Structure 1
Amino acid sequence: MRELPKHRLHSDAPLAAGVALPLPREQANYLLNVLRLREGDTVAVFNGRDGEWLCALHAEGRKQASLEPVRQLRPQTRRPDLVYLFAPLKHARLDYMAQKAVEMGAGVLQPVITRYTQVSRLNLDRLAANAREAAEQCGILALPEIRPEQPLEAALAGLEPERLLVFCDEAAASASPVAALREAPRGPLAVLIGPEGGFDEAERALVMARGLTLRLSLGPRILRADTAAVAALALVQAVLGDWQADIG
């Protein structure tokens, strides 16, 4: 069983044995004054390129610190091949949605603008911060790609033809989503979740005109968009995705 330090950080810096890793003031303050770590305490650090490393803390007063990579805990893995397309929500609910999507294994976060989308301009830095926080907490090694918002038509056009799009539509006939997913072809995946008001008929026609698309019901109740995101991603990962095998 691999060693699991209690705390985990993301860094943009290279990670290699013996190469000191200076910490930005915000991260140093978090380790020293929030977590109250002391000289020699260890944390796990990842950067999305060099795997995960066990690092020892070197305190330099109460406001500055550095980390020394000691040994690699896990080699680098690829970003999950799952594109999550979603209509942006407001503030806290968008934060929640982004965090849960990363925890569920989304490798790309693609905001889409639809007729009933509540938010037309996104704070991408805030979206990235939520993704990074979720990655730190759930143990993944590669941050998701954060793409700028696009109109629905452009976002659909950007998907590879061989990528299965799971189109979650509250207007779809109620049927077993598990049975529908089991009949779907295996391969790269994308999941589309709409806004609170759902999709209009023109948007539904646009989505269904795409070649490799599975229109999916999420059950007999209308779910809030953030709830639908968790439900849909859990279903997709359990039937078609990386929940089917132990990925370490």
Structure 2
Amino acid sequence: MAREPMAREKVATRLHVEETLVAGQVVGLDHGRAHFLRTVLRLQVGAQVALFNGRDGEWSAELEGLGKGWASLVVGQQRRPQAAEADLWLVFAPIKRGRIDFLIEKATELGCSELHPALTRFTAVDRVNTDRLAANAKEAAEQCERLSVPTVAPPRDLGKMIDAWPEERHLLICAERGEAVPIGEALAEASEAGLGTHPWAVLIGPEGGFAEHELTALTRLPRAHFVGLGPRILRADTAGVAALTCWQAWLGDWHRRPPGRGST
């Protein structure tokens, strides 16, 4: 009987870095991250952390030096190789600060590869702090043990995004009303058709819904799927989490067992 793989030892602190990760590499941290390790986590020299950069997998590292405003780590052994991830975008109309932060965090946990703010006719928010959103995405990636951080794109007009939409990318459009297929039914059909390996995106509209001209433009996309999320009107952040959850359950990696459970 084959032995079940052992669960990897859990590390409390994971950090995303830009440097190439190889054994023996010394990685320096900026002031903010060094302050976090020293003052917030109260780590000491010799503490073990994990590092990842989205390219080289996850590596163990030892805190070699720590001072006021600086820290250095020595890379040890690779803990996990880099693995392929879903090509899944979230396209969303910007919403108020607390809720957009929540949406970015959960979209990262749910495996999105790119996050695209879309300015629609009824978008109520006219400014998007993409630096803050990128920081939220990085922190969420560190916490949820994924091996990459999703890209946060600059805001764009939805009409221009539609005009430049990649022909091969399927688009799951969450519609509040109208002729929309229940999301479970649409994703079940996509799963049966073997579309899980194709590039996908989920589109969440603003609180006021899409304008008629936007819906008309969306219907012209060759791989547009209009879906409903049930009889209740959901907030934009709730709708985003719900749709991404359904996508992962039907087409994503939720068929895999947790680490250390014996199969992928």
With the length of structure 2 as denominator, give the TM-score of the two structures: 0.88
- What's the secondary structure of 1:99's corresponding residue? helix
Q: Is the 8 A contact 2:181 2:226 kept in 1?
A: no
Which residue in 2 is equivalent to 1:45?
51
2:127 is aligned with 1:116: no
2:192 is aligned with 1:182: no
Which residue in 1 is equivalent to 2:94?
88
2:159 is aligned with 1:153: yes
Separation in 1, partners of 2:52, 2:71: 17
Q: Relative to structure 1, is the Cα distance of residues 199 and 11 closer, same or farther in structure 2, using a 3 angstrom cutoff?
A: same
1:96 maps to a residue whose letter is F
Q: Is the 8 A contact 1:118 1:195 kept in 2?
A: yes
1:209 Cα deviation after fit: 1.4
2:169 is aligned with 1:163: yes
- What's the secondary structure of 1:170's corresponding residue? coil
Q: Is the 8 A contact 1:165 1:191 kept in 2?
A: yes
Unaligned runs of 5+ in 2: 1-6, 260-264
1:152 Cα deviation after fit: 1.0
Separation in 1, partners of 2:164, 2:109: 24
1:232 maps to a residue whose letter is A
Unaligned runs of 5+ in 1: none
2:242 maps to a residue whose letter is A
Q: 1:56 aligns with which of 41, 56, 62?
A: 62
Percentage identity across paired residues of the two chains = 46
Q: Relative to structure 1, is the Cα distance of residues 176 and 89 closer, same or farther in structure 2, using a 3 angstrom cutoff?
A: same
Which residue in 2 is equivalent to 1:10?
16
- What's the secondary structure of 1:65's corresponding residue? strand
2:222 is aligned with 1:222: no
2:52 maps to a residue whose letter is F
1:215 Cα deviation after fit: 0.5
Equivalent runs, 1:198-209 vs 2, <5 Å:
198-209=209-220
Q: Is the 8 A contact 1:96 1:226 kept in 2?
A: yes
Aligned-residue RMSD, C-alpha: 1.7
Q: Deviations over 1:77-128 (max 9, x none)?
A: 2453001110011211111111111111110111111011122232111111
Higher relative contact order (CA 8 A, sep 6+): 2
1:154 Cα deviation after fit: 1.8
2:77 is aligned with 1:71: yes
Separation in 1, partners of 2:180, 2:136: 33
Q: Is the 8 A contact 1:110 1:155 kept in 2?
A: no
Separation in 2, partners of 1:156, 1:54: 43
- Tell me whether 105-114 or 145-154 shows the greater mean CA deviation: 145-154
Equivalent runs, 1:188-199 vs 2, <5 Å:
188-199=199-210
1:134 Cα deviation after fit: 0.8
Q: 1:130 aligns with which of 113, 132, 136?
A: 136
Separation in 2, partners of 1:60, 1:14: 21
Separation in 2, partners of 1:244, 1:60: 42
Separation in 2, partners of 1:75, 1:31: 25
1:214 Cα deviation after fit: 0.8
Q: Relative to structure 1, is the Cα distance of residues 205 and 69 closer, same or farther in structure 2, using a 3 angstrom cutoff?
A: same
2:87 maps to a residue whose letter is D
Q: Is the 8 A contact 2:176 2:209 kept in 1?
A: yes
Moved beyond 6 Å, runs of 4+: none
Which residue in 1 is equivalent to 2:254?
243
